[in-house]
Amino acid sequence: MILERRLIREPSFGLATKLWNISWFYVLLLCALAGVGYAALYSAAGGSPDPYASRQALRFAFGLVMMLAISVVDIRFIARLAWPVYLVSVALLVLVLRMGHVGKGAQRWIDLGGFQMQPSELAKIGLILVLASWFHRASNERVGNPLFLIPPIILVLIPVGLILKEPNLGTAVITAVVGGAVFLGAGVRWWKFALVAVLGGLAAPIAYSHLHDYQRQRITTFLNPESDPLGAGYNIIQSKIALGAGGMWGKGFLQGTQGHLNFLPEKQTDFIFTMLAEEFGLVGSLSVLGLLLLIVMGALLIGLRCRHQFGRLVAIGIAVNFFMYVFVNVAMVMGAIPVGGVPLPLVSYGGSALLTVMFGMGILMSVHVHRDVEFGEAGGD
């Protein structure tokens, strides 16, 4: 049993042992998903590695090295960095509102020497770490005390509010859900979530009145995309056509007409799953979804095998964050939810999301490698 394992001591737990204890099968799953992304981006460029696939491959290679480097860092040291990472991410969110790059009507990026960084992606990882640090070693009695929950609720509301100001509704919702998942993993009772849901429902009309015009248009388009087939509803209509055109087995690699004839919008980013579905059909789509599901389940399994609460909560947060990427992107291109501009992790073209995912996976691997360490007071409560 896990509880009967002998705790790993640092003197006998050197670098070679840590590298050996990395879940290389999990690393292989990530590489396989990145391979799917490379193929999709190669197709999106009309059968060329440039400009998407080659750059994405370089980013993934850097992210893989970063992930492996983070995986051998003691998880207790990472726990001590929880507050600094959170505060830096919040500072970057404030900075992006003051001097960030404006694109597609939103102010979400900071230009760092030619690299466009999206601080909201880092904020989710910072939030996971700081909430895990807060709830680490907290007893059930403390978690059940409403006063004990006020500070972590504020910790969630700060980045969510700043992300909404960009505006970036999709990422704000994902950030809130990720925070809620950590609360749930820490033992917060279901009825408190139900109460928040009811209050949220009551506040929905007020929230709708404060939405930007383009956000209201997305909701209207979601309810009836055919009302403006050549305007606001064009993207989702073309996406549905491409999904259906793939059939069972697809049209074949590089043979998708919707994507290669430029009917499909943003085929290298938001709608890349649609292009995969057209070229590889239902079978190929389910295979990709199966690979994504394995990655999510693997992250949850790492959390279940971890002996300390900090690692368990971090694993839950990272797993839910990855799942929300997938759920929102796939549901969006199918027309099940309004279009929100959320990428498919390790598949869609983009640097911030890819590197942030790999950063989170590095922390997850550190949880796995150091799953049996004596945690002491590193996380604090």
Residue 239 has pLDDT above 60, yes or no: yes
Structure tokens at 322: 């990855």
Structure tokens at 49: 């590695």
What is the pLDDT confidence band of residue 124, given thresholds at 50, 70 and 90?
Answer: very high
H or E stretch at 278: helix 272-305
| Any domain includes 376 | no
Phi, psi at 182, each rounded to 5° = -65, -40
User: Residue 41 has what pLDDT?
Assistant: 95
Residue 381 has pLDDT above 50, yes or no: no
| Any domain includes 67 | yes
| Any domain includes 48 | yes
Count of domains for the chain: 1
User: Residue 10 has what pLDDT?
Assistant: 43
Q: What percentage of the chain reaches a pLDDT higher than 70?
A: 84
Residue 98 has pLDDT above 90, yes or no: no
| Any domain includes 2 | no
Residue 13 has pLDDT above 70, yes or no: no
User: Residue 263 has what pLDDT?
Assistant: 78
What is the pLDDT confidence band of residue 168, given thresholds at 50, 70 and 90?
Answer: confident
How far from each other are the two terminal CA atoms of the chain, in whole angstroms? 28
User: Residue 341 has what pLDDT?
Assistant: 75
Kindly state the average pLDDT of the residues 328-346.
87
Residue 11 has pLDDT above 50, yes or no: no
Kindly state the average pLDDT of the residues 103-129.
78
Q: What percentage of the chain reaches a pLDDT higher than 90?
A: 53
In terms of pLDDT, which residue wins out, 221 or 121? 121
Residue 106 has pLDDT above 60, yes or no: no
pLDDT single digits (tens) 291-317: 999 999 999 999 999 999 999 999 999
Instruction: In whole angstroms, give the CA distance from residue 241 to residue 238.
Output: 5
User: Residue 259 has what pLDDT?
Assistant: 78
Residue 325 has pLDDT above 90, yes or no: yes
User: Residue 126 has what pLDDT?
Assistant: 96
Question: Strand pairing partners for 116?
Answer: 111
Instruction: Tell me the residue range of the domain where 135 lies.
Output: 8-369
In terms of pLDDT, which residue wins out, 195 or 27? 27
Residue 43 has pLDDT above 90, yes or no: yes
CB 352 within 8 A of CB 360: no
Average pLDDT, the chain: 85
| Any domain includes 324 | yes
Residue 200 has pLDDT above 50, yes or no: yes
User: Residue 6 has what pLDDT?
Assistant: 40
Query: To 10 degrees, the CA torsion angle through 135, 321, 289, 69?
Result: -90
Residue 240 has pLDDT above 80, yes or no: yes
User: Residue 101 has what pLDDT?
Assistant: 57
What is the pLDDT confidence band of residue 338, given thresholds at 50, 70 and 90?
Answer: confident
| Any domain includes 3 | no
How many other CB atoms are there within 10 angstroms of residue 316's CB atom? 24
Kindly state the average pLDDT of the residues 147-171.
90
User: Residue 130 has what pLDDT?
Assistant: 97
How many other CB atoms are there within 10 angstroms of residue 91's CB atom? 11
Phi, psi at 350, each rounded to 5° = 155, 140
User: Residue 213 has what pLDDT?
Assistant: 66
Instruction: In whole angstroms, give the CA distance from residue 310 to residue 47.
Output: 45
